[in-house]
Chain A
Amino acid sequence: MTFVAKPRTHHPLLQVNDLGLTRRDYEGSVSTLCAGCGHDSVSAAVVQACAELALPPHKFAKVSGIGCSSKTPSYFLGNSHGFNSVHGRMPSVATGANLANRELYCIGVSGDGDSASIGIGQFAHIVRRRINMLYLVDNNGTYGLTKGQFSATNDRGSTSKKGVPNLYEPIDMISMALQIGASFVARSFSGDKRQLVPLIKAGLLHEGFAFIDVISPCVAFNNHNGSTKSYDYIRAHSGSVVDADLIAPHDEITVDYDPGASEDVDMPDGSTLRLRKLAHDYNPHDRVAALHYVQRAQEEGEFVTGLLYVDPTASDCHEILGTTQTPLNALGEDELCPGNAALEGVNASFR
């Protein structure tokens, strides 16, 4: 925990975005997480991504559940809407928020406990419903807030701080998300902002359910030699298959890659998502193959990172339901209560 607040003073050359805001304007209150917690780096990556995209902070809904991860929305986007909900129930609140106001950028932050244990049912169904949001899991394989019990994502054989091995199979949230309909699936590492920031940007702009599993080491309870989610282990055992770069509409595309190894995807806001394939046999649009690849690697004790699957044409919940383009919370009384005649018409259609 830090008691000394971060001074407001910033670098004299700090960049100002199109909204006239600096990166510092996207920060939240001072973090009370342990020093060195990966989650703080994820928050910093969200701050950087939102600032670089020049998205208006008041157009965000931040939702979370319970746990170390779920405290983090307080530490970014201090001028946004936020809801710190019940354990494992963030997806319900996020669904409500998105249905009520489809114009908000919705960021849900959850942890491996919140999403893979108590909230796994909620998680599965928000993926199915394809809510248009960015769902971040700060995945550290441990219950840090209750002093380091194994979580459901902890690998079998990985040990506790005292050396006791975990006896159960892990839940792989990437595989689950791929299986049940997420249209944007990525994995990254809190210690690699070069990879994480573009993924967060792309996930925010993606129309549909975007899921990023961020391996985010717990320095207090799961950063030791027997852990498979320590800083050192992740650095030694992870590799990117597809790197993503988000190129803003007004930016000139300067870097050229080998044509076979890169692909441009148009994003809804006019920007370009450039995918760079680092594994030549990998296809980020083939859901089944991706699933196979990820699971095979996991079998070998390796973490596959990068943008694992993306379907730019997928529909989101509002499209599936055919709701009006106007956010529901902006509809007036006349639209919401169209009168007896309209009701008669609806009733008649069921007769």
Chain B
Amino acid sequence: MKATDIADPDYFHKVVDCQWACPAHTPVPEYIRLIAEERYTEAYMINWDSNVFPGILGRTCDRPCEPACRRVRTEEKPVAICRLKRVAADHKGDIAPYLPHVPRQKNGKRIALLGAGPASLAVARDLLPFGYEIDMFDRDPAGGGMMRSQIPAFRLPADVLEEEVDLIVNMGVNATYGYEITSMKEMLDMNYDAYFVGTGAPRGRDLDLPGRKEVDEHISIGIDWLSSVAFGHTTSISGKVIVMGGGNTAMDCCRTSQRLGAERVTVVVRSGFEVMKASEWEKEDAMAEGIPIINNRPPKEFVHENGKLKGIVFECVKPVEGENGRLKYVPTGEPDVFMECDHVLMAIGQENHCPWIERDIGLEFDKWDCPILDEDTLQSTNPKVFFGGDSAFGPENIIWASAHAHKAAISMHLFCQGKDLKADRPPEGVNLISQKMGVHQWSYDAEHDPSARFIVPHANRTKSLDNIKIEVELGFDKDLGLQEAQRCLNCDVQTVFTEKLCIECDACVDICPMDCITFTENEEEERLRANLMAPADNTEQDLYVSEILATTGRVMVKDEDVCLHCGLCAERCPTNAWDMQKSIVHIPQLGSFAEPIAAG
């Protein structure tokens, strides 16, 4: 194998599994260390810098970081990254001194943000310090987009939402709420220098089954219903409720119904339990509240009598692995099931939908009705118009919206400054800084903590089922937060190898608890993977291969897969050929590259 190029920013970035998996590439171990030092404000600001909504995301994030966490591979349960983010938000002090300065003197460029959801807000935050004048339009009466309209208060309290939304709006956004955008042409006529479309995926899917039209008044689209609850238009639901769908919206619908007075709530899903789109913890929380989830039941027909909904007939199916390895559902042969209900909440997906964008203004859409965008710049075929969040590539989540926003903000800035959107983009970079403080002293907590994942306390169930505004998860207190923070393996503190210092004494090989290190003759990757101290079967994780060693002609090969970053290789190395160095990955973002770009 070729020697590893550790100057490539991606190499060590990939080793930090959580950061690599996070769409916004939040430096997770860095903020977890700050929590362990009880520096909550700094921990919060690291998050705010990269994902913009730490308090909100600390409660609602889809957490792509957690299944990626190395601890899943070394034991079983990941570090509770999301809950630690909330710990930072809950315990932070005054953040005002850390906030970017927004100049009173504007730079003369005007930006329009369409939609006031997470993507638009994050773009505003990135652009405001550069002196842009920003106008934001949204049809809802308040900002926050789907974070406000679709996430119920028992998961995301209004004050947490408002704090982070207002923080950005108060930086100087001219927000126009209650403004229904009906024509993109009209918007373009307002002659802004650039436009950002962050209008989300606002159309909930419907099911055209027999009887659907007749019982229209008993059926609600999940996201619309949640929105009407959020804005206080709907305050109760009665009788038996069936929620159709297996995603997080379905979970929010069923738990909200239960709190608004439904006599009985049932979730019915067409697919199997394991493949449901809802996050593991959302399913657990719904079931813990006594809501049954019934799987493998596609609906066939709405049964009604004199315009009144009686119930739904479901087919019984089971999953079978198809030829291409994908699951398909075949009838089990059991008779169809009839389930009684008075109201149906339809939560079977949503899509982006921009009927207000005229199709003759140079803004093209693909066959799925998604705008055609440059993936690197998020620029549409109309050079002035940029997209982000769910309206760009279809429904994702808040953390993707933040990631898109950073990308789009860089593009919009370059565009407004008359620069090339690709050639002038700031590059990614990596810095490596030794963590050695002295003999046996490292500036991070190298010792491995074998504790199991800590459980987050919940509010009293009877009380929380009674009031939609009582938050269910209480979050870790400081003590639990500190203990959970200790579980982080500090994957950003890298094992860096210097060939010319190595005397091949084997000390690192002997001490490594995970058998990660091997000195061996160089071979092709496949053979190398099979012949290491421990087989390196996880090909998603790289092998760190050194240059050829002078004395024996062998190479050092380290399997990054299950390294605990305990630092024992460096601790045991007599010549400092191994060193523990913190990798700081520079993800291009307007805020963090403020001076260089502004000066250029």
> B306 contacts the other chain (Cβ, under 8 Å)?
no
**Contact with A7, one of B564, B572, B574 (Cβ below 8 angstroms):** B564
Establish whether residues B450 and A8, one from each chain, have CB atoms under 8 Å apart when the complex forms: yes
Q: Which chain A positions have C-beta within 8 A of B551?
A: 231-232, 235
Q: Which chain A positions have C-beta within 8 A of B440?
A: 1-4
- Decide yes or no: A191 and B571 within 8 Å by CB, A2-B511, A11-B514, A44-B510 being known contacts: no
Establish whether residues B505 and A38, one from each chain, have CB atoms under 8 Å apart when the complex forms: yes
Establish whether residues A4 and B447, one from each chain, have CB atoms under 8 Å apart when the complex forms: yes
Tally inter-chain residue pairs, CB-CB below 8 A: 97
Bound-complex Cα distance A12 to B515 (A): 10
Establish whether residues B450 and A231, one from each chain, have CB atoms under 8 Å apart when the complex forms: no
Establish whether residues A35 and B503, one from each chain, have CB atoms under 8 Å apart when the complex forms: no
**Contact with A2, one of B450, B514, B568 (Cβ below 8 angstroms):** B568
- Decide yes or no: A9 and B514 within 8 Å by CB, A4-B447, A34-B574, A235-B552 being known contacts: yes
Size bin of chain B's contact surface: 20 to 34
> A250 contacts the other chain (Cβ, under 8 Å)?
no
Establish whether residues A36 and B573, one from each chain, have CB atoms under 8 Å apart when the complex forms: yes
**Contact with A9, one of B503, B513, B572 (Cβ below 8 angstroms):** B513
Bound-complex Cα distance A223 to B551 (A): 14
A-contacting residues, B221-235, CB 8 Å: none
> A37 contacts the other chain (Cβ, under 8 Å)?
yes
Q: Mark B351-390, 1 if CB is under 8 A from A, else 0.
A: 0000000000000000000000000000000000000000
The interface size of chain A toward B, counting residues with CB under 8 Å, comes to 33
Bound-complex Cα distance A35 to B507 (A): 7
Bound-complex Cα distance A41 to B573 (A): 13
B-contacting residues, A1-20, CB 8 Å: 1-14
> A114 contacts the other chain (Cβ, under 8 Å)?
no
- Decide yes or no: A41 and B506 within 8 Å by CB, A4-B447, A4-B567, A8-B450 being known contacts: yes
Establish whether residues B75 and A9, one from each chain, have CB atoms under 8 Å apart when the complex forms: yes
Q: Which chain B positions have C-beta within 8 A of A40?
A: 507, 510-511, 572
> A193 contacts the other chain (Cβ, under 8 Å)?
yes
> A217 contacts the other chain (Cβ, under 8 Å)?
yes
**Contact with A36, one of B505, B562, B564 (Cβ below 8 angstroms):** B505
**Contact with A35, one of B450, B509, B515, B574 (Cβ below 8 angstroms):** B574
> A219 contacts the other chain (Cβ, under 8 Å)?
yes
Q: Which chain B positions have C-beta within 8 A of A8?
A: 450, 513
Establish whether residues B537 and A13, one from each chain, have CB atoms under 8 Å apart when the complex forms: yes
Establish whether residues B506 and A12, one from each chain, have CB atoms under 8 Å apart when the complex forms: no
Main SS at interface, chain A: loop
Bound-complex Cα distance A37 to B573 (A): 10
Establish whether residues A36 and B575, one from each chain, have CB atoms under 8 Å apart when the complex forms: yes
Bound-complex Cα distance A10 to B440 (A): 22
Nearest to A30 among chain B residues (CB) is: B511
Task: Give A62 Cβ to nearest chain B Cβ, in Å.
Answer: 18
Task: Give A23 Cβ to nearest chain B Cβ, in Å.
Answer: 9
Establish whether residues B574 and A6, one from each chain, have CB atoms under 8 Å apart when the complex forms: no
Establish whether residues A11 and B510, one from each chain, have CB atoms under 8 Å apart when the complex forms: no
Nearest to B450 among chain A residues (CB) is: A9
> B73 contacts the other chain (Cβ, under 8 Å)?
yes
Q: Which chain B positions have C-beta within 8 A of A7?
A: 447-448, 450, 513, 564, 566
Q: Which chain A positions have C-beta within 8 A of B511?
A: 2, 6, 40
Q: Which chain B positions have C-beta within 8 A of A43?
A: 510
> B141 contacts the other chain (Cβ, under 8 Å)?
no
Q: Which chain B positions have C-beta within 8 A of A9?
A: 74-75, 448, 450, 513-514, 564
B-contacting residues, A222-279, CB 8 Å: 223, 231-232, 235
Task: Give A51 Cβ to nearest chain B Cβ, in Å.
Answer: 12
Establish whether residues A35 and B534, one from each chain, have CB atoms under 8 Å apart when the complex forms: no
- Decide yes or no: A6 and B505 within 8 Å by CB, A11-B562, A13-B534, A36-B574 being known contacts: no
> B535 contacts the other chain (Cβ, under 8 Å)?
yes
Q: Which chain A positions have C-beta within 8 A of B513?
A: 6-10, 24
Establish whether residues A11 and B505, one from each chain, have CB atoms under 8 Å apart when the complex forms: no
Chain B CB within 10 A, most for which of A2, A43, A190: A2
Nearest to A75 among chain B residues (CB) is: B510
Bound-complex Cα distance A223 to B504 (A): 12
Q: Which chain B positions have C-beta within 8 A of A1?
A: 440
- Decide yes or no: A191 and B446 within 8 Å by CB, A4-B568, A9-B564, A235-B552 being known contacts: no
Q: Which chain B positions have C-beta within 8 A of A14?
A: 515, 534
Q: Which chain B positions have C-beta within 8 A of A235?
A: 504, 551-552
Task: Give A14 Cβ to nearest chain B Cβ, in Å.
Answer: 7
Task: Give B71 Cβ to nearest chain A Cβ, in Å.
Answer: 10
Q: Which chain A positions have C-beta within 8 A of B567?
A: 4
- Decide yes or no: A44 and B506 within 8 Å by CB, A7-B513, A35-B571, A232-B551 being known contacts: yes
Nearest to A6 among chain B residues (CB) is: B513
Task: Give A26 Cβ to nearest chain B Cβ, in Å.
Answer: 13
Bound-complex Cα distance A223 to B575 (A): 12
Q: Which chain A positions have C-beta within 8 A of B75?
A: 9
Nearest to B76 among chain A residues (CB) is: A12
**Contact with A4, one of B507, B562, B571 (Cβ below 8 angstroms):** B571
Q: Which chain B positions have C-beta within 8 A of A34?
A: 574
Establish whether residues B505 and A191, one from each chain, have CB atoms under 8 Å apart when the complex forms: yes
- Decide yes or no: A191 and B506 within 8 Å by CB, A9-B448, A231-B551 being known contacts: yes
Nearest to B577 among chain A residues (CB) is: A36
Task: Give A48 Cβ to nearest chain B Cβ, in Å.
Answer: 9
Bound-complex Cα distance A24 to B511 (A): 11
Q: Which chain A positions have C-beta within 8 A of B537?
A: 13
Query: Other than the known A13-B537, A35-B573, A231-B504, what 4 A-B pairs have Cβ atoms closer than 8 Å?
Result: A3-B440, A4-B440, A24-B513, A219-B503
- B residues bordering A, Cβ < 8 Å? 73-75, 440, 446-448, 450, 503-507, 509-511, 513-515, 534-535, 537, 551-552, 562, 564, 566-568, 571-575
Q: Which 3 A-B pairs have the closest CB atoms?
A: A36-B574, A7-B448, A44-B510
